[in-house]
């Protein structure tokens, strides 16, 4: 704790003994920037995957579809019967029959936009929004079977489960990627710190020979490299945030839920630079301690 306080307080004179520029300085800043950049992207993807999984789960959980197939002369009567049943069934918040243009839109990816529905006999579709207390699916299907033969109630259960499982796996993969990038970031910063300390071995030797204590040497190096890691990570984070901001916003892309960040999620990237600095702090301290062990 005392060491941390001294670190934040700083000691310009002590810091002067650490080379201010050169290969190791550039390496620490560059590797921190690169890894922070990747970490922000991994974080963004993880959040987007989580959002996507939640959205799929919530949307499919609250909707159902009724598909009605019947002979042409009975279709309208059956559709009316479906509407009556739906309006009387508890657990159904709202419903609406898809009109021709909506059906055309649904088929457009397969048949193109100029499909004439007169040439194709299509079932009537009802888009149903469910209450939190969902209706009794089996009871509803039985009633539909009795009063509007050919009407099938689909609560999306079959493919909702598969989709939610896929979304969950996507979320796990994203989290795994984030963890891996965090581990690689830690390794990179630790290696940069070790390399920097190794490259400055002569400085450490001289300092010990003129009577410097280990704490003086460690503090000088730790402060320098922690600051460099913080600056590098801040640069990488800002660049990544600018690029993330240029991605489509979450509410602009309905299906994919967007790859950007929204609302309070924008606060998460700000965690990256202090974490990188903390990592550099411990890595440099460890590397300095190891190097000092070799010096009498």
Task: Kindly tell me which residue out of 1, 5, 72, 210 binds other proteins, with binding defined by CB under 8 A.
Answer: 210
Instruction: Kindly write out the interface string for residues 150-189 of this chain, putting x where it contacts other proteins by CB under 8 A and - elsewhere.
Output: ----------------------------------------
Please count the CA atoms within 13 angstroms of the CA of 172 that sit on its side-chain side: 6
Closest CA relative to residue 177, chosen from 59, 47, 22, 86: 47
Which value, in Å, is the radius of gyration of the alpha carbons in the chain?
31
Judged by CB, which is closer to other proteins: 6, or 243?
Answer: 6
Q: How are strands ordered across the β-sheet holding 124-130?
A: 92-97, 124-130, 63-68, 151-154
- Give the chain's end-to-end CA distance (angstroms, integer): 26
Binder of other proteins out of 117, 198, 206, 249 (CB under 8 A): 206
Q: How far apart are CA 221 and CA 150, in angstroms?
A: 78
Shorter beta-carbon distance to other proteins: residue 10 or 157: 10
Residue position matching structure tokens 């640069």: 235
Q: Is residue 60 part of the contact set for other proteins (CB under 8 A)?
A: no
214-243 footprint of other proteins as x/- string (CB under 8 A): x-x---------------------------
Q: Which of 211, 246, 255, 264 binds other proteins (CB under 8 A)?
A: 211
Q: Are 163 and 104 in contact (CB under 8 A)?
A: no
Minimum distance between the CB of residue 250 and other proteins, rounded to whole angstroms?
Answer: 49
Nearest distance in Å: CB 195, other proteins: 17
Give me the least distance between CB of 193 and other proteins, in Å please. 19
Q: In angstroms, rounded to a whole number, what is the distance separating the alpha carbons of residues 282 and 8?
A: 14
Contact flags string 9-28 toward other proteins, x per CB under 8 A: --x-xx-xx-xx--------
| CA separation for the pair 70, 80 (Å, rounded) | 12
Interface residues with other proteins (CB under 8 A) are 11, 13-14, 16-17, 19-20, 202-203, 205-214, 216, 296
């Amino acid at each position: 704790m005392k060491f941390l306080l001294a670190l934040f307080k700083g000691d310009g004179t002590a810091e002067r003994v650490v080379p201010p520029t050169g290969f190791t300085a550039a390496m620490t800043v560059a590797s921190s920037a690169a890894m922070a950049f990747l970490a922000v992207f991994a974080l963004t993807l993880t959040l987007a995957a989580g959002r996507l999984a939640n959205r799929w789960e919530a949307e499919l959980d609250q909707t159902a579809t009724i598909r009605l197939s019947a002979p042409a002369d009975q279709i309208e009567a059956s559709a009316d019967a479906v509407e009556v049943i739906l309006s009387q069934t508890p657990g159904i918040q709202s419903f609406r029959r898809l009109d021709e243009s909506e059906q055309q839109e649904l088929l457009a990816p397969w048949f193109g936009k100029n499909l004439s529905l007169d040439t194709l006999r299509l079932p009537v579709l009802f888009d149903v929004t469910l209450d939190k207390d969902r209706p009794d699916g089996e009871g509803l299907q039985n009633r539909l079977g009795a009063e509007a033969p050919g009407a099938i109630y689909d609560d999306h259960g079959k493919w909702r489960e598969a989709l939610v499982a896929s979304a969950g796996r996507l979320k796990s993969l994203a989290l795994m990627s984030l963890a891996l990038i965090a581990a690689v970031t830690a390794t990179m910063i630790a290696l940069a710190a070790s390399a920097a300390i190794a490259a400055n071995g002569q400085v450490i030797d001289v300092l010990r020979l003129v009577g410097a204590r280990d704490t003086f040497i460690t503090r000088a190096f730790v402060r320098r490299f922690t600051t460099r890691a913080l600056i590098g990570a801040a640069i990488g984070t800002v660049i990544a945030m600018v690029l993330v901001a240029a991605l489509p916003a979450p509410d602009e892309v309905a299906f994919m839920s967007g790859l950007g960040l929204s609302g309070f999620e924008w606060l998460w990237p700000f965690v990256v630079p202090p974490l990188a600095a903390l990592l550099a702090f411990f890595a440099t301290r460890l590397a300095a301690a190891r190097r000092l062990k070799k010096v009498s």
